[in-house]
Chains A and B, each alone.
Chain A
Amino acid sequence: MSDTAVAATPQSPSGGSSTPAPAGTPVAPAPRSNQILRDILGGSVVISILAVVLALVAGGILIALTDEDVQTASGYFFSRPGDTLQAIWIAVSGAYSALFQGSVYNFGAVDFAKGIKPLTDTLTFATPLIAAGLGVGLAFRAGMFNIGGQGQMLIAAAAAGWVGYSFPLPYGIHLVLAVLAGIAGGALWGGIVGLLKARTGAHEVIVTIMLNYVAVYLVSYMLRTPGLLQAPGSNNPKTPAMLPTAVYPDLLGSSYNLHAGLLVSVAATVFVWWLLSRSSLGFKFRAVGVNPNAARVAGIDVKRSYVTVMLISGGLVGLAAVAQVLGTVTSGFSSGIDAGIGFDAITVALLGRSRPWGIFVAGILFGAFKAGGFSMQAGEGIPVDIVLVVQSLIVLFIAAPPLVRAVFRLPTPGVTGKKKPVRLAKAVAAK
C-alpha cells in the first residue's frame, strides 16, 4: 500500500551510516529492520575488535568471581589485598592461556607437529561455522533473519547421511552426491520459510524457530525407526557409519582432524562473495535488504528474492551439516549432530557483519573459542559454557556500537547527526 509513497531513496547498498535516525528525510524510509541491519553491517572493524575485548573482560570477571581461590582470598581482602589480586590473575590468566593453547599453539607439546594440532582443531571447528555463518549472513543481506540453522542442519544431515551410508558408489561421485543431497536438504527446509514469507507474509523468525523443533522431532523419529535412519541391528537412535567413499578426505593426514570440508567452506566464501558483489542476483538481494519497497519500484521481484535467498541460505547451512556428517563425525550421527552450530552461525554472521570474508574470520575466531573452550574445561575446570557467554556478549556489544563507544570513550562519528533529531524533537515538543 505504501508503494506509491516510496520515492526510492538514493542509498548505497553497502550502507555506512552508523546513526540510525535519518533525520529530516520526508520520503518514506525503508522499514526499520532493514536500516538496523544496515547499521550492523556498517560499523567499523574497531568496534568489532573492542567488542571482543570487552566480552573477554566480562568473561574474565565471571571466571574470577566464581573461582574458589579468589573467593577464599577475598575473605581477608582488606588485610591482604595482594592475595585476592594474585588469585584473580591466576584464575583469569590460566583460563585464557588454556583457551589460547587449546586453540592456536600448545607450548607444552613435544614437537611442532603436536604443538600445532590445536590450530588444526580450530579450523575443523570453524569449517561448519563458516558455512552456516555464510548462510545466515546471506539471508541478513536480503533482510531475512534465518534463525532456523538448527532445523536446516538436521534435515541436511539426514539427507547427506542417508546418501552417505546407503549406496555404495565410486569414490568421488559418492562424495559429490552426498554433498549435493545435504545442500538440497538444507535448501528445502530454508525454502519452506522463504515460500511462506513470500506467499503469506509469515514472519520468518517465527517460522524458522518452529521448523527447528519440527526438524528435531522428525529427525529423532527417523533415527529411532528401523528402516529410516537407524543403523540396522541397533537399538540406539544413531545412523550407521558413513561409507569411506562418501567421507571428506583428510587434509593433513590421519593424525589431524582437519578434512576437505574446509576447502568447501573456503569455496563457499568465494561463491558468496561473488554472488553478493559480482552477480545481478546478489545485487537484487542487497537491494531487497536495503529497502524492499524501493526494490519493488525498481522492478525487482521481492517475493521471488525471498524464496531464492532462503533456498541458497538453507543450502549453505546444509553445507555445514555435510561438514559435520561427512567430515567431523563420520561414525554415524545422532540427533545432536547440529551441535548448536545453527545458533552459533547467527553470532558468526553478526560478528562478520554479514560480509563473506568477515564471516570467514569470525568463523575461525569462534572455532578457536570452541576448540579452546574444551581444553579450558579439561585443563582448568572452567565449564565450556563460558564460551557461550563470551560469544553472546560479543554480539550484544557489536549490535550496539554506541555502548562500546561509551565504554571506551571513543568519538561518535555521526555526532552532529545524532544531536539534531533531539533538538528537533524538543522543538516539536515546545510547539
Chain B
Amino acid sequence: MSSQLSGPGSTAGATDLAGDGNLAGAGNLAGAGNLAVEVSDPATVSSATQHDRPDSSNGLARTIVKSWKAPIAFGIFTLIALVLFIVLGRDGISTFQLSNSNDLIQLPVVETPTRLAGVITTILLAAITVLAWLRVRANRRVPLWLTSIFGVLFLFGFLAWAAAGQTLPVPGLLVGTVSLSVPLIFGAMGGVISERVGVVNVAIEGQLLAGAFASAVVATITGSPYVGLIAAMVAGMLVSFVLAAFAIKYFVDQVIVGVVLNVLVVGLTNFLYSQVLSKNAELLNTPPRFDRIAIPVLSEIPIIGPTLFRQTIVVYLMYIAVAAVYFGLFHTKWGLRVRAVGEHPQAADTVGINVNSTRFRNVLLAGAITGFGGAYFTLVSVPSFNREMTAGLGYIALAAVIFGQWDPIRATLAALLFGFASNLQNVLGIIGSPVPSEFMLMLPYVLTIFAVAGLVGRSRGPAASGRPYIKS
C-alpha cells in the first residue's frame, strides 16, 4: 500500500515494517494522509498531528476500534486507590498549606481527615471508571478532561494519604516542580524539533551537559551570565553539529551517534573539569547567577504567582520558547516544512524543500535550545559546574518527548509531570514518606515505558524520524 502512495524506488517511503510497530511502522500511511490534510486545511492541523485517530496498527483496517485501555487503566488505579487509601488507610489530619508566610494574600490552610478523604476519592474514582466504561461501550472515546480529572483526584488522594498527620507545603511543592522541570522542558523542546525534522535526538543529555559546562566557564570569565547563556547555546549547537554531520552526511545511525555523543561529552567535560576547572575554580568555575525577578501584580496571585512569576529570566524565556515552538511548528511555513521533512522527506523533496539542509539547520536549532536549558544548571540552580551534573535528565527529557507524543505542549506537560514526581519525592522525603523514595523516582521511567508500549495512549513518532534521507 505504502509503495503506491510514495511511488516506486522510494527509500524512506516503502521501507516500513510492522517490526518498528507503533513508533514508526504505521505512521507512514497516516503521515502521508496528515500532510494532505494540512496542506489543504490549516484549521485541522493540530488535530491531525496528534495522531488521535483510531486506526489499527497495520494501517489496513480503518474501522473504529473500541479502545478499552482507558477504562482498564482507570480500573487498575481505582483498585490501587482502594488498597492504598482504604485498606491500608492512615488515620490523622492531612494539612495542605497553600500560602507562604511572606505572601501578600494569605490563603487559609486546608485540613482534611485522611481516611475520609481517601474514601471519598476512591468513590469518585470508581464513578469515573464506570463513566469511562459506559462511554467506551457506547463506541465513544474517553475525553482528555475526564482523564485529567481522574489524575488530579488520584493525586489529591495520594497526597492526603501520604501527608497523614503532617503539613504539606503546596507552594513549595509547585515551585520546586517548576525549578526541576526547566532543563527538562528545554531539552524536550530541542527533542521535539529535532525529531519532528526527522533526526532522533538521544544526545539531549550531551547538549545539556555541554551547555552547563560552557555557560559556567564563559560566564565566569566574562562576568556576565547573559554571555554565559549565549555560550551555552553555542555549545549545544556544537554537539548538535556533530550529531547532524554524522547522521545526515555520513548516514551513521542516529541513535548510535546520540549515545556515543553523550559518552563523549561526559568524558570531555569530566576531563576538562578535573584537569582545568578544579585547579582554577576561582577563575573558571564561579559563574555569577541570575536573580529571581518577581513580576509585579502577577506574582501576588495565590499559589500561581510564586510558582510561575517569581522566577529567573531563564524561566520566563522558557515560557516564550514553549509558545514559540508550538506556534512555529503548527502555524508557520517553517513548521510545516519541518514536519513535512520529518514525516515524508520524499514528498518534501518533490515540492522543492531541501531535506538535508532543513534537517541540518533545525538540528542545530534544537541543540541551541537544549544548550540554553543546560545553562540553567550552572547559572540558576547550582553556582558551579560539577561532573555529570545533568545526572541523566537528558534521558528524562527524551522520555518527555515520547510521553508528550512529539507535541511541544504535551511534552512540556510531561516534563512538568516528571519534575513534579521527583520534587514530590523530595518533599515527601522531608515530611517522612510512606513510599520508598526510589519508587517515586522510578515513576517517570515506568510511565514512559507504558507510554511507549501504547498502554496509555497511542505513541507514534514522526514517520521518517531516525532515517537518513538519501536521494535515489
Contact = CB atoms under 8 A, between A and B. Distances in A.
Contact of A421 (B17, B202, B436, B470): B470
B2 A302 contact: no
A202 B264 contact: no
Interface string B23-63: 11110110000000000000000000000000001111000
A270 interface: no
Contact of A343 (B16, B263, B399): B263
B137 interface: no
B454 interface: yes
Contact of A396 (B257, B449, B466): B257
Given A1-B18, A302-B19, A392 B250 contact: no
Interface string B143-186: 00000000000000000000000000000000000000000000
Contacts of B25: 201
Interface in A51-78: 62, 66
Nearest to B58: A1
A33 B253 CA distance: 7
Nearest to B16: A2
A26 B9 contact: yes
A220 B23 contact: no
A385 interface: yes
Nearest to B459: A202
Contacts of B2: 1-2, 5
B97 interface: no
B365 interface: no
B19 A205 contact: no
Contact of A201 (B1, B57, B270): B57
B467 A2 contact: no
A380 to B, nearest CB: 11
A62 B438 CA distance: 39
Contacts of B263: 343, 347, 388, 391-392
Contacts of A62: 268, 271
Nearest to A386: B271
Name the prevailing secondary structure of the B interface residues. Answer: helix
Contacts of B431: none
Interface in A1-49: 1-3, 5, 20-21, 23-24, 26, 28-33, 36-37, 39-40
A402 B271 CA distance: 28
Contacts of B29: 1
Contact of B438 (A2, A220, A386): A220
Contacts of A80: none
Nearest to A425: B471
Contacts of B21: 197, 200-202
A221 B468 contact: no
A203 B465 CA distance: 12
Contacts of A196: 449, 452-453
Contact of A200 (B11, B22, B255, B275): B22
B309 to A, nearest CB: 33
Given A1-B58, A383-B274, A400 B267 contact: no
A212 to B, nearest CB: 8
Contact of A388 (B1, B267, B439): B267
Interface in B244-293: 246, 250-253, 255-257, 259-261, 263-264, 266-268, 270-272, 274-276
A206 B3 contact: no
A299 B331 CA distance: 47
A386 B220 CA distance: 24
Given A33-B253, A388-B266, A400 B271 contact: no
- Contact-residue bracket for chain B: 35 or more
A15 to B, nearest CB: 14
A109 interface: no
A292 B15 CA distance: 11
B316 interface: no
A29 B253 contact: no
A9 to B, nearest CB: 12
Nearest to A426: B471
B271 A203 contact: no
Contact of A206 (B9, B266, B399): B399
Contacts of B439: 217, 221
A263 B242 CA distance: 40
B128 interface: no
Given A1-B29, A347-B260, A402-B250, A201 B267 contact: no
Given A32-B12, A145-B256, A399-B246, 10 more contacts: A21-B470, A24-B9, A26-B8, A32-B466, A36-B468, A143-B19, A197-B21, A388-B267, A399-B253, A421-B470
22 contacts: A1-B18, A1-B29, A1-B60, A2-B14, A23-B472, A32-B15, A66-B272, A66-B276, A143-B19, A200-B21, A203-B23, A206-B402, A213-B395, A214-B446, A214-B449, A292-B17, A303-B19, A343-B263, A346-B260, A385-B274, A396-B242, A421-B472
- 4 tightest A-B contacts by CB? A201-B21, A388-B267, A385-B270, A221-B438
Interface of A: 1-3, 5, 20-21, 23-24, 26, 28-33, 36-37, 39-40, 62, 66, 143, 145, 147, 196-197, 199-203, 205-207, 209-211, 213-214, 217-218, 220-221, 225, 292-293, 302-303, 306, 343, 346-347, 350, 382-383, 385-389, 391-393, 395-396, 399-400, 402-403, 421-422, 424-425, 428
Interface of B: 1-3, 8-9, 11-12, 14-26, 28-29, 57-60, 202, 242, 246, 250-253, 255-257, 259-261, 263-264, 266-268, 270-272, 274-276, 392, 395, 398-399, 402, 436, 438-439, 441-442, 445-446, 448-449, 452-455, 466-468, 470-472
